[in-house]
Amino acid sequence: MPMTESSDKTLFEEPKIKSTWLPLLVGVLVCVMFLIMAWLLKERETTDLHKMLAAKAGEMAGYVGADLRSRIPAVRRIADRWTVHQGLLQNEFEADARAYVNDLPGFQALEWVDQNYIVRWVIPVAGNEQVLGLNLASEETRRISLEKARFNKAPTMTPPIDLVQGTKGFLVYFPIHVRGEFEGFILAVFGVEEWLRHIFSIRETKADRINYRVTVFFNDIRIYTQTKPTDVTGDQFMATADVKYLGHNFLVQCRPTAAFMRETKSFLPELTAAVGILIALLLSSVVYLFQKTSTAAWRSHAAKRALETEIRERKKTESRLQQTSARLHLATKAGGIGVWAWEVTTNRLTWNELMFDLYDIPPDVMPTYDTWRNAIVPEDVSLAESLLQKAVAGKAVFDTEFRITLTDGAIRYIRAAARVERDQYGAPLRMTGVNWDITDRKLAEDKIRHLATHDALTDLPSLRLATDRLDQAIRTARRNQTKAGLLFIDLDGFKKVNDTHGHDTGDILLKAVAGRLLSCVRESDTVARIGGDEFLVIVVDVHTRDDAANIAEKLIAALTGPFDLPAGTVTVGASIGIALFPDHGEDAESLTNLSDQAMYTVKHSTKNSFAFAGKESGPIPP
């Protein structure tokens, strides 16, 4: 089944979570889970340890309670026998007491105390000699217990006391009553160290002695501690159990040894934590690799799709480019536009076929920079090259005009424009441009400019150009401290020729007049037609009035000669007005007006002569 675009997008959608965070998140979650498991295992191990200690403490306390419940009734039987037999002989007492002392280690002594609280008999005597004849009522703790046992007629136990024998112990009094009469006590003296050591030694196993340390408290007073207390753990692992007997409390405290902790310690929590960390690292790596693979697959797919899209677009672009190229080729061919490319780094130049046509170079010639440069008219090379180098340097736009010389010597005008392509650092790579022939346009422009400043009929300068040249002549004369002359000429008899022979003959005559005027002056001088049959002659480097007069006479002589025209021979004359700089005026306008006035003076008098401007002016015959 083909994959739809939406499913394809879903499968190859780029991951939203950064590749760094997702593996880290998975690793942390897995690690936390295993750490919690390790903590739970540790807690269960601790709970089990507390249960074991509590059980052992209860067991030890049970040993103490069981021993008391067996010893006390046994000793009480001596008191009961005394009551039943209404007394005992010393040897009978000693026999019974010795049997108990021998069978039940832990008794410091069994004694008979008389009605006055004085110890009379003691078993064994050895080690207890100092108690014979001892008045127990002399010590407050003993006396209180004695009184309590006597009046309650029940066994009474003292708190822990310092025994006369020099050890720690406690006393149990059994009151004796015969026919209602008080006859003293049977006293059981317990040496707690020996008593408890005996109890635990016959009950404990070897493992118990290695694994546990027991401490016994009697009414919150510590009375027994097993040896080697330094190898036990702190109070964190400790259990207690108590036994209540005859109104007193025996508390057994059990703590594990370091050996027990080592033996019972499980490495499962630590192993679980370590395995969890390893699994977290492994899963993080797997997720990272999976995500990296997924990202790579997505990017590969995206790149493939982008490449396919690019190929399709490139084909479309190539098709459009071919169409555009064909149109451009037709356009450049129709417009006579040459296209060129210059590889700046390799100095390689390529031309299209129209470039070869423009420069009149055979198409089999490999064009170079010098090919282009040598074709340019020498006067235009410097400007074209300078602009080209500035464009390459990024300081100007290459858009210029220059002239080239063809193989037959003909001069053509070329318009050139180009654009520079650069690399990412701005360095020039290549320059692509166009050339086209603008010779016809340039000639038309030159003709238009010429017509704007010259007379269309005679090709002489017009009044506008004549005024500019007169200004220039004045500036030159002022600089050289010489004179400049302006001769205003009006033809005599031209209207008659025009009326008689027609305007065409008049035009031919004007052209002939222009030729004769030009023949009479120097190249530095100017002859201009300013309208109708009026002409101006501007002469430079005039030193005296006579120089100007001589030129006027020469002009009149040239114009008065007959003109052989197609319509016949005609004659005309010339009335000339002369104005000199600086004699008559300081600028072109004043000189023109004054020379015009002088010309009209001649025109209205003698004609065919000349006159200078000024009050003293008058016609001067040639």
Angle at 13 between CA 9 and CA 15, to 5 degrees: 170
Residue 211 confidence class, pLDDT cut points 50, 70, 90: confident
* Helix 268-335, helix 21-84: angle, nearest 10: 170
Query: What pLDDT was estimated at residue 250?
Result: 92
> Is residue 38 one of the residues assigned to a domain?
no
Report the C-alpha dihedral over residues 243, 244, 248, 252, rounded to 10 degrees: 10
Q: Are 438 and 524 in a shared domain?
A: no
Which has the minimum average pLDDT: 11-15, 64-68, 518-522? Answer: 11-15
- Sorted by sequence, the CB contacts under 8 Å of residue 57 that are 6+ apart come out as 239, 240, 241, 252, 253, 254
Domain boundary among 260, 279, 312: 260
Q: Are 107 and 162 in a shared domain?
A: yes
Cis ω for the linkage preceding 619 (within 30 of 0): no
The secondary element (H helix, E strand) that includes residue 170 is: strand 168-178
Find, among 538, 611, 540, the residue nearest to 574 by Cα. 611
Tell me the per-residue pLDDT of 453-502, one tens digit each, with 9 for 90 and over. 899 999 999 999 999 999 999 999 999 999 999 999 999 999 999 999 99
Query: What pLDDT was estimated at residue 511?
Result: 95
Task: Indicate whether this model's pTM tops 0.95.
Answer: no
Query: What pLDDT was estimated at residue 87?
Result: 87
What CATH number is given to the structural domain containing 518? 3.30.70.270
Domain boundary among 223, 239, 260: 260
Mean pLDDT of the 399-404 span: 92
Q: Are 147 and 192 in a shared domain?
A: yes
Residue 11 confidence class, pLDDT cut points 50, 70, 90: very low
> Is residue 278 one of the residues assigned to a domain?
no
Query: What pLDDT was estimated at residue 4?
Result: 45
- Integer-rounded Cα radius of gyration of the chain: 73
Residue 69 has pLDDT above 80, yes or no: yes
Q: Are 83 and 223 in a shared domain?
A: yes
- Gap between the Cα atoms of 373 and 384, Å rounded: 9
Cα-based distances in Å from 44 to 37, 38, 257, 328, 417: 10, 10, 20, 89, 91
- Sorted by sequence, the CB contacts under 8 Å of residue 378 that are 6+ apart come out as none
Residue 239 has pLDDT above 70, yes or no: yes
Residue numbers of the domain that contains 503: 454-612
Number of domains in the chain: 3
Residue type for position 543: H
Query: What pLDDT was estimated at residue 575?
Result: 96
- Gap between the Cα atoms of 251 and 606, Å rounded: 171
Find, among 337, 316, 319, 327, the residue nearest to 432 by Cα. 337
Query: What pLDDT was estimated at residue 8?
Result: 46
Q: Are 534 and 565 in a shared domain?
A: yes
Which has the minimum average pLDDT: 80-89, 224-233, 251-260, 453-462? Answer: 224-233
Query: What pLDDT was estimated at residue 528?
Result: 96
Tell me the per-residue pLDDT of 192-208, one tens digit each, with 9 for 90 and over. 888 888 888 887 777 67
> Is residue 291 one of the residues assigned to a domain?
no
Tokens of 516: 């004769």
Q: Are 390 and 460 in a shared domain?
A: no
Q: Are 356 and 459 in a shared domain?
A: no
462-488 burial: b if 16+ Cβ within 10 Å, else e? bbebbbebbeebbeebeeeebbbbbbb
Residue 19 confidence class, pLDDT cut points 50, 70, 90: low
- Sorted by sequence, the CB contacts under 8 Å of residue 29 that are 6+ apart come out as none
Q: Are 149 and 210 in a shared domain?
A: yes
Q: Are 176 and 212 in a shared domain?
A: yes
Query: What pLDDT was estimated at residue 313?
Result: 83
| pLDDT, the chain, mean | 85
pLDDT more than 70, % of the chain? 89
Query: What pLDDT was estimated at residue 235?
Result: 60
Which has the minimum average pLDDT: 22-36, 155-169, 298-312, 451-465? Answer: 298-312
Query: What pLDDT was estimated at residue 123?
Result: 92
Query: What pLDDT was estimated at residue 565?
Result: 94
> Is residue 240 one of the residues assigned to a domain?
yes
List residues bridging with 620 in a β-sheet.
Answer: 610
Most confident of 50-64, 197-211, 606-620: 50-64
Which has the minimum average pLDDT: 52-66, 184-198, 251-265, 576-590? Answer: 251-265
Tell me the per-residue pLDDT of 552-602, one tens digit each, with 9 for 90 and over. 999 999 999 999 999 999 999 999 999 999 999 999 999 999 999 999 999
> Is residue 287 one of the residues assigned to a domain?
no
Most confident of 63-67, 349-353, 528-532: 528-532
Q: Are 528 and 602 in a shared domain?
A: yes
What CATH number is given to the structural domain containing 206? 3.30.450.350
Which has the minimum average pLDDT: 345-349, 399-403, 588-592? Answer: 345-349
Residue 327 has pLDDT above 70, yes or no: no
Residue 186 confidence class, pLDDT cut points 50, 70, 90: very high
Domain boundary among 413, 444, 475: 444
Tell me the per-residue pLDDT of 91-147, one tens digit each, with 9 for 90 and over. 988 888 898 888 888 888 898 999 998 999 999 888 888 888 888 888 887 888 888
Q: Are 213 and 354 in a shared domain?
A: no
Which has the minimum average pLDDT: 235-244, 323-332, 436-445, 533-542? Answer: 323-332
> Is residue 299 one of the residues assigned to a domain?
no
Query: What pLDDT was estimated at residue 230?
Result: 56
- Gap between the Cα atoms of 562 and 449, Å rounded: 35
Tell me the per-residue pLDDT of 43-53, one tens digit each, with 9 for 90 and over. 787 777 778 87
* Tokens 């059990």, residue located: 254
Residue 226 has pLDDT above 50, yes or no: yes
> Is residue 3 one of the residues assigned to a domain?
no
Query: What pLDDT was estimated at residue 3?
Result: 44
> Is residue 25 one of the residues assigned to a domain?
no
Query: What pLDDT was estimated at residue 210?
Result: 73
Query: What pLDDT was estimated at residue 554?
Result: 96
Tell me the per-residue pLDDT of 512-563, one tens digit each, with 9 for 90 and over. 999 999 999 999 999 999 989 999 999 999 999 999 999 999 999 999 999 9
Q: Are 186 and 208 in a shared domain?
A: yes
First to last CA, the chain: 117
Mean pLDDT of the 350-375 span: 88
